[in-house]
Amino acid sequence: MLMRFNIYILLAVIVTFYASASFAAPAAETGLPLQTGGLAMHGTPALPADFSHFPYADPAARQGGTVTYGTVGTFDGLNPFIIRGFRTTARGLFADTQFGSMVFETLMQRSQDEAFTLYPLLAKSYSLNNARTIMRFTLNPAARFADGRPVSADDILFTCNLLKNEGRPPFNSYMKQIARLEKLSSDTVQFTFSPPINRELPLIIASIMPVLPRHALTRARFAENNLTPILGSGPYLIDKIEAGQSINYRRNPDYWGKDLPVNRGFNNFDNVRIRYFRNENALFEAFKKGDIDVFVENNANRWRTAYNFPALSQGRVIKAAFDKGTPAAQIGFVFNTRRAVFADRRVRAALAAVFDFDWINRNFYDNIYQRTIGFWDGTILSAVGRAANERERRLLAPWPALVSPAIMAGQVIPPPNAADNSRKQAEKAWDLLQQAGFTRKANIIFTPDAQPFRFEIMCQTLEEEKLALAYQRFLRRLGVTALVRTVDDSQYQNRLSNFDYDMIIGKLSASLSPGSEQMNRWGSASRRIKGSFNYAGAAEPALDAIIAAMIEARSEEDFISTVRALDRILMAQHYYVPLYHLPQQWVAYKADLHHPDKTPLYGFRLPAWWQQ
């Protein structure tokens, strides 16, 4: 998940908020057991309370040097917490899936080698009741903002109030689930959560809520997405900015948390530079020239054929493949069901049926990709190849017509698209369209309101455009017109945030611990919230109910069953035409860079690399 927030700082609101705070006794006197180690969503943490470092980091890694990364896009601000900066904020500030959190920190740090387990960061200890309705945090007394001021309970109250009132989704909704936030002492706060019970919420609050400085931020300043840095407590300071082109981070020599177990072996470079490029081709050319130190590859053809430049043959660049144990990200053509023409799932199923993945994989990628099936492909959470168990059947019983018998039986492998089968798929698609009220004249398909069936596929990159043009040809055989339009990054992000598209090629990351973020992807409420990840516009009561059951699951067996039930609904609704995934993570990098021997469950971690 990308994590960004919005914040208000109104004195009157803060006073009102503080007025509700009560000062209570320490944890031992109120029956909440004090914990100093990890906190797992299900089961127990893998690491003991006195662990010295994460197993996928090397505490002996060399400190120093400079690394230059690259990314596609642009930026016009440094505030990752407001809706205006949601998609146009500089990378690396907070909860960046690739570059980490260099400026802002959370109460606890998520382990990348466990499904969903947290370990102390800004918080020294926590207390949590069995129902997970009350959680208490005591801050590490050493925690400091970059200006040397201590991180305090007041800063937590201040931040929560800001996020609640101006946070972008889904973070404002998380804050609104806090019924009461109490300051118990200068370094201790207690959260009481509103019903209904969300057993994941305490972990979400602990791991995605930044703690911002009350003393160095105003409401007016916070509401801006400009190039003035906001003070954080993290390991790096913003050193130099070229608007839209690059941002340089300098390691804070006085960083308070450098010796914490969650930080040993991380943040090894003295300087981190992130450069911006118009497209991936320009980024790759910069890497070949030596202007970029690391290139994360996601193009199979380029990986096979384009790494023939001198730096590689001379040993100055290394190609590496990393194995990970998490589900493949879901990449696919996404139907925007807010558009009336895609509201009927039979229409979506029809258009999905004519997509010829085998042709694309063979002609574009030399069969190097694997097709993604379902939303937790290749893991124990996937419903593919598994018949629904009794728990799943009970969960889905209120909606007997929602999931087909084949999907309930786990029989959801897409058929190969050989020539004969392509004709069969086209016939199947036409049958579905007729059932939905479509007609055909002179090989042109018309919608139920007698309009030619046409829509636009909005693309962001040339690679997406190539895929869309191929899909356009498949659809044309059926009599459907798809217009392909590639737009620049700023226009794309604006239209994406406002759901102003018919179809896109969307991407959703996947984890072994899906939870509340699924509401932001598939929940009915998120259909109308600008900037949500509900690209498809899903609004299905069964999805709301199953996601709620998944969040509240207490046993591992119940959790797995609810995720599989969710997987079945999503496949049955045909929101995505699934594309493909690589069997490994591919990275090319300069030979003077090194990484730990162990790759964690969630894949390689650039913040744990170093320069020899």
CATH 3.40.190.10 residue spans of the chain: 11-62+94-222
Spatial distance between the Cα atoms of 52 and 262, rounded to a whole number of angstroms: 8
Kindly report the pTM of this predicted structure: 0.79
Q: Work out the angle at residue 205's Cα, subtended by the Cα atoms of residues 3 and 189, and round it to the nearest 5 degrees.
A: 135
Spatial distance between the Cα atoms of 440 and 94, rounded to a whole number of angstroms: 52
Neighbours of 4 (CB within 10 A): 22
Mean pLDDT for 321-338 is 94
Relative to beta strand 66-72, strand 271-277 is parallel
Main-chain dihedrals φ then ψ at residue 186, nearest 5 degrees = -65, -20
Any idea which fold 11-62+94-222 has?
Answer: D-Maltodextrin-Binding Protein; domain 2 (3.40.190)
Closest listed residue to residue 127, CA positions, set 191, 198, 185? 191
Least confident of 177-181, 366-370, 557-561: 366-370
Give Cα separations from 219 to 238, 277, 428 (angstroms).
21, 33, 57
Spatial distance between the Cα atoms of 588 and 350, rounded to a whole number of angstroms: 40
pLDDT tens digits, residue range 440-464?
A: 999 899 999 999 999 999 999 989 9
Give Cα separations from 185 to 67, 120, 189, 214, 589 (angstroms).
41, 19, 7, 16, 48
Question: Would you state the pLDDT for residue 23?
Answer: 30
Q: What share of the chain is helix, strand, coil (3-state, %, to 5)?
A: 30, 20, 50
Mean pLDDT for 343-352 is 97
Domain 330-581 has CATH 3.40.720.10: no
Q: Is 220 left (phi over 0), alpha (psi -120 to 50) or beta?
A: alpha
pLDDT tens digits, residue range 212-228?
A: 999 999 888 888 888 99
CATH 3.10.105.10 residue spans of the chain: 330-581
pLDDT tens digits, residue range 565-611?
A: 999 999 999 999 999 998 899 999 999 999 999 999 999 999 999 99
pLDDT category at 68 given cuts 50, 70, 90 is very high
**How many helices (H) and strands (E) in the chain?**
19, 26
**SS3 readout for 49-83:** CCCCCCCCCCCCCCCCCEEEEEEECCCCECCCCCH
pLDDT tens digits, residue range 105-150?
A: 999 999 999 999 999 999 999 999 999 999 999 999 999 999 999 9
* Predicted confidence (pLDDT) at residue 466 exceeds the cutoff of 50: yes
CB 560 within 8 A of CB 392: no
Question: Would you state the pLDDT for residue 10?
Answer: 30
* Predicted confidence (pLDDT) at residue 15 exceeds the cutoff of 80: no
pLDDT tens digits, residue range 385-420?
A: 999 999 999 999 999 999 999 999 999 877 666 556
Q: Work out the angle at residue 583's Cα, subtended by the Cα atoms of residues 578 and 589, and round it to the nearest 5 degrees.
A: 120
Least confident of 373-377, 553-557, 592-596: 553-557
DSSP 44: -
